[in-house]
Amino acid sequence: MKDFKKYFTLPATPEEVYIALTNPITLEIWTGDKAEMSTQPGSEFSLWEGSIVGKNLEFEENKKIVQQWYFEGEPEDSIVTIKLHPHKQGCSMEVRHTNIPDEAYEDMAQGWEEHYVGSLIAFFDEQ
């Protein structure tokens, strides 16, 4: 199992990024696919038409999101923690994704860079 950790700078406030990550309508706009999301701890979520599914564990409004991402058949939970910090260019988003199966690591790291954060940056650049 591997861990991924990276900081990204987004051209938006932490409040705007938090909404983009937690509001199902906004999620559908920037991902381009149906999304299921709630800020209720213990609720299930689904992004990119089920490509990413899991359980919401913790929310700190405008500051932190903690989720369990499901990898079928894996003995340990894969936990994603996103922390949002004010930055002179908008928002610094710290992503920490733990317990990624070895065989999925490269695809997951690329997915964070290109699809997840790349789509989020493109969404804010179009505003």
Residue boundaries of the structural domains of the chain: 1-10+51-127
Distance CA 26, CA 1 (A): 32
Q: Supply angle C-alpha 61, 66, 72, rounded to 5.
A: 150
- Taking domain 1-10+51-127, whether its CATH number is 3.30.420.10 is answered by no
Q: pLDDT digits over 63-93, tens only?
A: 999 999 997 777 788 999 999 999 999 999 9
Residue 7 carries which side chain, given as an amino acid letter? Answer: Y
The mean-pLDDT minimum among 4-13, 51-60, 65-74, 87-96 falls in 65-74
Mean pLDDT of the chain: 94
Higher pLDDT, 51 or 66: 66
> Helix or strand or coil: residue 9?
strand
> Helix or strand or coil: residue 127?
coil
Across 5-16, average pLDDT: 97
